[in-house]
Structure 1
Amino acid sequence: MSFKFAAAACGAAMGIALALNAALAADPSASPTQAAPPVQAAPQPPRIDPHADDLLTKTCEALGSADALSFHAEILFDKVLPRTVKVQYAAEMNFALERPDELVVDYHSDLGGKQLWYQRDTLTIFDEPHEMYASMKVPSSIDTMLDQVEQTQHLTLPLSNLAYSDPCSRIRKQIIFGSYIGVNDVNGVDCDHVAFSSRNIDLQLWLDRSGKPVPRKIVINYRTEPGSPEYIAVLSDWKFPKQISDNRFSPHLPKDAKRIEFLKVKESQP
């Protein structure tokens, strides 16, 4: 600001103040100390839209209350290379569980594949490309098994949140914003599209409107990671039988498979 402009502005302000004082002196009812009426603040919308929150709750209840469930997933995920070059890879997965203590995951991606069997108190992982497997003793419930292998082995299974008896428990601890987007399509199925944010990720869910409110599509954006990689899963072939054959949860290993230590077979998943 130039000196001349500042001086002119100061003079104008003084003129306005003098005029205001003169008006107050002419009108005894006016008082410079009279309090202005309180300004009513506009109501703020909730940080988590109630409709989005209700849909999330119904989905978690449908998954958590199931005695058994299975689904197929087609997955796309990003890897960020040096110089923040982002590359997309693909994967497919078949996932099944029966509560309280059986889980099977068959996962194959452009970067390799793993098969996992969990039955009662034993977890077995088979690395198909290298024909190696590892086993370890674990707690005899899905929730505690998943917690233990994450804490002690730093192993997180793809879409493992869907296996918990309360799938919402972890998500709710992180959500700071949620919104209902609208009705959108996933492979010909009308879905309620909702979006949530935490400090580190953005999460979008497309929830089936026609039957059980199962997720038909999941998109996770790791926005605080270099390159903001995304994880996209399209889920189909949902089934909710009362029971699944025990044989499905038993390890099926080739004769020549070599047993190794568990730490050598673990693989971090997006």
Structure 2
Amino acid sequence: MKTIIRKAVTFAAATLPSVALAMAIASGTLSDARAGEAEAKDLLKAMSDYLTAQKAISFNYDTNLEVVTKDHQKLLLASSGKIEMGRPDKIRATRHGGFANVEMVFDGKTLTLLGKDANLYTQVEAPGTVAQLVDALRDKLHRPLPAADLVLPNVYDELIRDVVDIKDLGSGVIGGTECDHLAFRAKEVDWQIWIAQGEHPYPCRYVITASQVNQGPQYSIQISDWKTGTDVVADDYGFKNATNAKQVDLKKLVDIDELPDHFAPGGTK
């Protein structure tokens, strides 16, 4: 019996340091995770504050939109464009891809959509701010603006809503710019953002993954040639019909979205 007790005590003495070490590692991991989460929130808030403070912004962008077919093949639709914005109610956006070559102009009162290839345009009365326009484009006109989340006045609140998990993944380099790489998980999507380090924490890349959709298709936008203030050229956001484009109803202005009209969501086209 004494031998059994001695062995049990010896085993416990040898094991306890390992258990304590494991607990310390686990505790350290949890502490690091909490610290990383707090730092990630601070970095995102700093980006949001910087963007909100800019009265004029312009940047070029490249987007990739993944489409998953019914037989699980992923197709990647690529486009490029430029956005110029004057707060609170002026914006000009262009997008050129394989299916669309379109320009959108908003002067605080009227929204103009120009299909450059077809040389057709439509106009919609939409008085208000850029934030109100973003909502109208998404909910009423079904023509969402690229990188819409990033041009809103309350970027942090919009992005952090419904987030359930946050990770600070350290540094990454986008287009030669060193960035802070953050990853977030929300109820319906996962998203990542790369934020330029330094005095101008602008977003360099933004990736959204539809985690609840089969095959997890992604939408990504990469930003370049970031400019603010007096470096932003577009001071006139009125529409000038320089090509004598024909005015038509919005329904007749086809293929002006990143997803071409012949791609039917959930369909067979």
What is the TM-score normalised by the length of structure 1? 0.77
Contact 1:71–1:235, Cα closer than 8 Å, also in 2: yes
State the partner residue of 1:171.
159
- More deviation, 45-54/194-203: 45-54
1:152 aligns with 2:140: yes
- TM-aligned CA deviation for residue 47 of structure 1: 10
Unpaired segments of 5 or more residues in structure 2?
Answer: 1-25, 260-269
Q: After superposition, give the CA deviation of every residue in 1:145-174 in whole Å (9 maximum; x if it has no partner).
A: 222232222221110111111112221213
Q: Which of 12, 33, 38 is matched with 1:50 structurally?
A: 38
Unpaired segments of 5 or more residues in structure 1?
Answer: 1-40
- TM-aligned CA deviation for residue 254 of structure 1: 4.6
Q: d(CA) in 2 for partners of 1:191 and 1:72?
A: 18
State the partner residue of 1:84.
72
- TM-aligned CA deviation for residue 262 of structure 1: 2.2
TM alignment of 1:191-210, pairs within 5 A? 191-210=179-198
The 3 A distance-change label for structure 1 pair 263 and 167 is farther
Q: Which of 199, 205, 208 is matched with 1:211 structurally?
A: 199
Q: After superposition, give the CA deviation of every residue in 1:203-225 in whole Å (9 maximum; x if it has no partner).
A: 11111113311111112111222
Return the index of the structure with the highest Cα Rg.
1
Q: d(CA) in 2 for partners of 1:162 and 1:178?
A: 19
Q: Which of 208, 231, 235 is matched with 1:246 structurally?
A: 235
Q: After superposition, give the CA deviation of every residue in 1:95-122 in whole Å (9 maximum; x if it has no partner).
A: 1100111000010112222210000210
Q: Give the counterpart letter for 1:164 in structure 2.
A: L
Contact 1:73–1:233, Cα closer than 8 Å, also in 2: yes
Contact 1:157–1:269, Cα closer than 8 Å, also in 2: no
Q: Which of 96, 119, 126 is matched with 1:138 structurally?
A: 126
State the partner residue of 1:184.
172
- TM-aligned CA deviation for residue 250 of structure 1: 2.2
Contact 2:208–2:220, Cα closer than 8 Å, also in 1: yes
Q: Give the counterpart letter for 1:177 in structure 2.
A: D
What is the TM-score normalised by the length of structure 2? 0.78
- More deviation, 258-267/234-243: 258-267
- More deviation, 185-194/97-106: 185-194
Q: Give the counterpart letter for 1:166 in structure 2.
A: N
